[in-house]
């Protein structure tokens, strides 16, 4: 099925599910926000081909770190399909639900924009990065780079990513493990390449196959770092901190929350661990009396959502700068690795 310029090859998965789960009564379906408009249409196909009652999740979904298997398990559902993302091998599914993944593969050509990007890169070694939506075209990108005298380098990250060259908004190890002179990112928006920009000083060229535009991340990185240093500066006056931990299986870092609490106490600060599955200004409204927040769930919440909060919202590494544990010149991105807890 084609949706919004993406191919979802879920129809070929359905006979396998039917064979592996004979007599299946119900099946859970989970979608990212951009695909939920078609949830009922997809559900009809699933029911027709498997005979199982489709149960459509309406909750927000931000990636394979954000499975709704716990909610489906409460309904007695033992099988679900997660659409739009590739598997995250390190994420545990502890609720007795078997999860099948259907990634969305972009049908947009990358040849023209990658060729244009090659004109701006000097290399010679270029780290090639992308998202799950374009990773099936890495071979094409590598061929074009070689034709322009550049040496493409791609690697697999840790067990938080399943695909070669794949970036997540929280994990860029597939890139930083590469010994290269610069990077190219193939995809849209700043979300994924910005994570890499915050982790490296090397030049990043973003090639967007949807708009056929080429740009660097220099301006976006500068804008975000200005916001981050403003939050760090404000937090230096803070006496009370809320440590926000998520119970989402792919975002849970409770041990880190306890470490942050210990650091605060050692520096004469008050800290409170706050469990919040769906982190937002609305859910944290009743903690507005706290001077600052520290996020130990998705590391992009403090970075991307800071303008939505009145308090400074820090990553654990930024808190270390506030407390004087980490030198200011050693600012780093909050990398969410596969063994993070």
Q: Is the pLDDT of residue 340 over 80?
A: no
State the average pLDDT over residues 157-184: 94
Residue 6's pLDDT is 87
- Do residue 279 and residue 260 come from a single domain? yes
Q: Considering the domain boundaries, does residue 341 fall inside one?
A: no
Tell me if 337 is assigned to some domain. no
- Note whether 86 and 125 are same-domain residues: no
Q: Is residue 340 part of a domain?
A: no
Q: Are 128 and 171 within one domain?
A: yes
- The per-residue pLDDT for 294 is 98
Q: Would 339 be classed as within a structural domain?
A: no
Supply the pLDDT for residue 339. Answer: 79
Domain end call among 216, 250, 281: 216
For residue 188, give the CATH number of its domain. 3.40.50.11850
φ, ψ for residue 165, nearest 5 deg: 75, 5
Percentage with pLDDT > 70 across the chain: 100
Q: Are residues 179 and 235 in the same domain?
A: no
Judge whether 264 lies within some domain.
Answer: yes
Last residue of a domain, one of 104, 120, 138: 104
Residue 234: pLDDT band with limits 50, 70, 90: very high
Note whether 162 and 180 are same-domain residues: yes
Residue with the bigger pLDDT between 335 and 2: it is 335
pLDDT for res 93: 86
Residue 282, classified by CB atoms within 10 Å of its CB into exposed (0-12), middle (13-18) or buried (19+), is exposed
pLDDT at residue 341 is higher than 80? no
pTM of the shown model: 0.91
Do 234 and 281 have their domain in common?
A: yes
The pLDDT-based confidence of 181 (bands split at 50, 70, 90) is: very high
338 in any annotated domain: no
Residues 204 and 251 in one domain: no
What whole-number distance in Å separates Cα of residue 160 and Cα of residue 12?
Answer: 26
Query: Mean pLDDT over residues 219-236, rounded?
Result: 96
pLDDT over 90 (residue 67): yes
Which token pair is 178?
A: 């590469």
Angle at 85 between CA 152 and CA 127, to 5 degrees: 15
Same domain, 79 and 157: no
Task: Give the model confidence (pLDDT) of 302-327 as tens digits.
Answer: 999 999 999 999 999 999 999 999 99
pLDDT (tens digit, 9 = 90+) per residue, 49-62?
999 999 999 999 99
Q: Which two tokens stand for residue 168?
A: 């997540």
Stretch 80-108: mean pLDDT: 93
- What range defines the domain where residue 285 resides? 226-330
Find the mean pLDDT for residues 116-142: 96
Q: Is the pLDDT reported for residue 92 higher than 80?
A: yes
My answer on whether 168 and 236 are in the same domain is no
Nearest-angstrom CA–CA distance, 301 and 297:
8
- The reply to whether omega before 126 is within 30° of 0 (cis) is no
**CA separation for the pair 96, 117 (Å, rounded):** 46
Domain edge (last residue) among 216, 237, 256:
216
Q: What CATH number is given to the structural domain containing 255?
A: 3.40.50.11860
Work out the pLDDT band at 1, boundaries 50, 70, 90.
confident
Cβ pair 167, 195 in contact under 8 A: yes
Based on the fold, state whether residues 85 and 116 are members of the same structural domain.
no
Q: Is the dihedral of CA 181, 185, 189, 192 positive or negative?
A: negative
**9 assigned to some structural domain:** yes
167 and 235 co-located in one domain: no
Quickly count: other Cβ atoms within 10 Å of residue 88's Cβ.
23
Q: Is residue 336 part of a domain?
A: no
Average pLDDT, the chain: 95
Residues 124, 74 share a domain: no
- Other beta carbons within 10 Å of 323: 17
- Render the burial of 241-276: b for 16+ CB within 10 Å, e for the rest: bbbbbbebbbbbbeebbeebbebbeeeebebebbeb
- If pLDDT is split at 50, 70 and 90, which confidence band does 270 have? very high
Calculate what percentage of the chain has a pLDDT beyond 90: 92
Please give the Cα distance from 103 to 100 (Å, whole number). Answer: 10
CATH of the domain at 19: 3.40.50.11840
| The total number of structural domains that make up the chain | 3
d(CA 203, CA 192): 15
């Amino acid at each position: 099925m084609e949706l919004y310029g993406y191919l979802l090859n879920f129809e070929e998965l359905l006979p396998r599910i039917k064979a592996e789960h004979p007599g299946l009564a119900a099946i859970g379906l989970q979608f990212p926000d951009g695909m939920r408009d078609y949830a009922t249409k997809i559900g009809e196909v699933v029911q027709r081909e498997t005979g199982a009652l489709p149960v459509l999740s309406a909750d927000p979904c931000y990636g394979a770190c954000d499975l709704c298997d716990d909610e489906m398990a409460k309904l007695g559902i033992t099988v679900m399909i997660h659409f739009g993302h590739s598997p995250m091998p390190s994420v545990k599914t502890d609720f007795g639900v078997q999860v099948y993944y259907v990634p969305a593969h972009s049908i947009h050509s990358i040849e023209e924009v990658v060729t244009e990007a090659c004109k701006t890169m000097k290399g010679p070694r270029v780290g090639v990065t992308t998202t799950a939506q374009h990773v099936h075209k890495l071979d094409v990108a590598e061929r074009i780079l070689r034709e322009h005298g550049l040496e493409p380098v791609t690697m697999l990250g840790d067990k938080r990513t399943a695909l070669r060259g794949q970036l997540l908004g929280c994990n860029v190890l597939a890139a930083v493990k590469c010994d290269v002179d610069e990077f190219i990112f193939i995809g849209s928006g700043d979300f994924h390449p910005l994570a890499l920009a915050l982790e490296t000083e090397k030049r990043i060229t973003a090639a967007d196959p949807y708009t056929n535009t080429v740009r660097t991340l220099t301006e976006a990185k500068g804008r975000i770092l200005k916001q981050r240093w403003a939050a760090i500066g404000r937090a230096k006056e803070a006496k009370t901190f809320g440590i926000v931990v998520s119970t989402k299986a792919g975002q849970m870092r409770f041990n880190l929350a306890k470490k942050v609490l210990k650091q605060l106490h050692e520096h004469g600060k008050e800290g409170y661990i706050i469990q919040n599955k769906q982190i937002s200004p609305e859910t944290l409204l009743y903690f507005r009396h706290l001077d600052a927040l520290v996020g130990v769930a998705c590391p992009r919440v403090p970075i991307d959502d800071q303008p939505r909060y009145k308090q400074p919202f820090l990553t654990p590494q930024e808190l270390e700068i506030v407390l004087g544990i980490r030198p200011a010149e050693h600012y780093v991105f909050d990398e969410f690795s596969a063994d993070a807890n």
